[in-house]
């Protein structure tokens, strides 16, 4: 058996370059509507960019199993449309003003129009998915959207409140990791994966998605606004307790806990600064704890696909967790 060697991000891009271009073109076609506002919003969101990690995972998963058909491009566009729809609804719920360094769509078109545009994107994603005539794929996508909506509702119930680490992990699975997992599973289904292979691919996506969101939450607290493309500590301002904050609250003094709870309940830094919170997090090693957990989930993702035969595609998937943990935005 050949030895698995490393592969870097540039090499992954080369592996998927033509496919990513095709997905962008497909995404552009798929978000055109007879209603001009929907087309304008869809194009605005597409032009905002993004890492396109989810469609890339679907492509890599399908290629890992030798799939060569055109369905991977269509379904990669589907998962990115679903992701985009969730961002539209998230920004409305969170009353966000910025997304990826640009005004959020709801600040340009208003909440009512963007809610409906988000709904249209969901329905459009399923209309395209139906073209594959694969009930297994539809089942997986329906389960995904239910999980994501339930996650949003659960998060709304818990806003402004301290939550346990288990509750937090359930939330980030539903809101983020589930889509990573489904992207891998759909690629596997296209490639004719066995039940065991589909499960392995799904575990890879789940663990990678958890690592991704944990890192995202750490960056929300530690990166600059210019890098994030949105205000620093947005999660705290929105009443969301993330992993490092939960870790600190379980260990800090009563006075320090009150400082954190003040921000969560008031959803503002009134009398407590961002630096105050960072001091508490550093004091209890909470940011390091979250980073170590992300690394642990990333390693678990790698382990999930270790039994697949060595190939360029497998090497790309083995490298992806390193990218997720080491990224700075």
pLDDT at 51 (0 to 100): 82
Chain centroid to CA 104: how far? 17
Yes or no: say if 314 and 64 are a contact pair by the CB < 8 Å rule.
yes
pLDDT grade for 48, boundaries at 50, 70 and 90: confident
Averaged over 103-115, what is the pLDDT?
94
**What pLDDT is attached to residue 7?**
66
Q: How high is the pLDDT of residue 4?
A: 47
Q: Is the pTM of this model over 0.85?
A: yes
Q: Give the mean pLDDT of 80-106.
A: 90
Residue 243, pLDDT score = 98
Q: Indicate if the pLDDT at residue 203 is higher than 70.
A: yes
Residue 322 confidence class, pLDDT cut points 50, 70, 90: very high
pLDDT over threshold 50, residue 25? yes
Looking at residue 6, its pLDDT comes to: 59
Q: What is the mean pLDDT of residues 202-229?
A: 93
Q: Summarize the confidence of residues 144-172 as an average pLDDT.
A: 95
pLDDT score of 136 = 96
pLDDT given at position 50: 79
Which residue(s) pair with 99 in the sheet? 102
Write down the H helix ranges in the chain.
Answer: 9-30, 36-47, 53-64, 71-94, 105-109, 111-130, 135-158, 165-172, 178-190, 195-222, 225-228, 234-237, 243-249, 254-266, 274-283, 286-304, 312-326
* pLDDT at site 9: 62
Structure tokens at 104: 């959020």
Nearest to residue 299, comparing CAs of 277, 282, 322, 278?
322
Q: Which pLDDT belongs to residue 252?
A: 98
Structure tokens at 168: 């937090």
Q: Summarize pLDDT for 294-320 with one digit per residue, the tens.
A: 999 999 999 999 999 999 999 999 999
Q: Which residue has the tokens 């139906």?
A: 130
Separation of alpha carbons 71 and 113, rounded Å: 31
Once rounded to an integer, what is the mean pLDDT over residues 113-118? 95
How far apart are alpha carbons 277 and 287 in whole angstroms?
11
The topology (CATH level 3) of 9-326 is Farnesyl Diphosphate Synthase (1.10.600)
Per-residue confidence band for 224, with pLDDT thresholds at 50, 70 and 90: confident
Q: Two tokens at 318?
A: 């083995």
Q: How confident is the model at residue 95 (pLDDT cuts 50, 70, 90)?
A: confident
Whether 36 has a pLDDT exceeding 90, the answer reads yes
pLDDT averaged over every residue in the chain: 93
| Residue 1 pLDDT greater than 80, yes or no | no
Sign of CA dihedral 39, 147, 318, 298: positive
Give yes or no for a contact between 42 and 115, defined as CB atoms under 8 angstroms apart.
no
Q: What pLDDT is attached to residue 2?
A: 37
210 pLDDT above the threshold of 90: yes
pLDDT of the residue at 327: 87
What are the tens digits of pLDDT across the range 291-301? 999 999 999 99
């Amino acid at each position: 058996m050949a030895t698995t060697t490393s592969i870097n991000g540039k090499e992954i891009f080369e592996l998927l370059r033509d496919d990513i271009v095709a997905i962008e073109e497909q995404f552009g076609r798929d978000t055109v509507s007879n209603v001009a506002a929907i087309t304008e919003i869809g194009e605005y969101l597409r032009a905002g960019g993004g890492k396109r990690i989810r469609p890339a995972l679907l492509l890599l998963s399908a290629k890992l199993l030798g799939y060569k058909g055109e369905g991977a491009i269509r379904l990669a566009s589907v998962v990115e449309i679903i992701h985009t729809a969730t961002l539209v609804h998230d920004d409305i719920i969170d009353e966000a003003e910025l997304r990826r360094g640009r005004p959020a769509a709801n600040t340009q078109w208003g909440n009512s129009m963007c809610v409906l545009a988000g709904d249209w994107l969901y329905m459009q994603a399923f209309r395209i998915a139906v073209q594959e005539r694969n009930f297994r794929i539809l089942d997986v996508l329906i389960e995904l959207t239910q999980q994501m909506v339930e996650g949003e509702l659960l998060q709304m119930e818990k806003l402004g409140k301290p939550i346990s680490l288990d509750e937090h992990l359930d939330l980030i699975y539903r809101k983020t990791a589930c889509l990573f997992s489904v992207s891998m599973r759909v690629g596997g289904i296209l490639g004719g994966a066995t039940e065991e292979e589909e499960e392995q691919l799904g575990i890879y996506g789940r663990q990678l998605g958890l690592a991704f969101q944990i890192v995202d939450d750490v960056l929300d607290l530690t990166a600059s606004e210019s890098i994030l493309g949105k205000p620093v500590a947005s999660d705290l301002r929105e009443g969301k307790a993330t992993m490092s904050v939960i870790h600190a609250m379980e260990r800090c003094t009563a006075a320090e806990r009150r400082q954190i709870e003040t921000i969560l309940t008031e959803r503002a830094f009134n009398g407590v600064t961002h630096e105050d919170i960072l001091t508490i997090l550093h004091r209890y090693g909470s940011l390091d704890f979250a980073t170590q957990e992300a690394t642990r989930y990333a390693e678990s993702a790698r382990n999930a696909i270790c039994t697949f035969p060595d190939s360029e595609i497998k090497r790309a998937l083995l490298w992806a967790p390193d990218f997720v943990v080491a990224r700075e935005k």
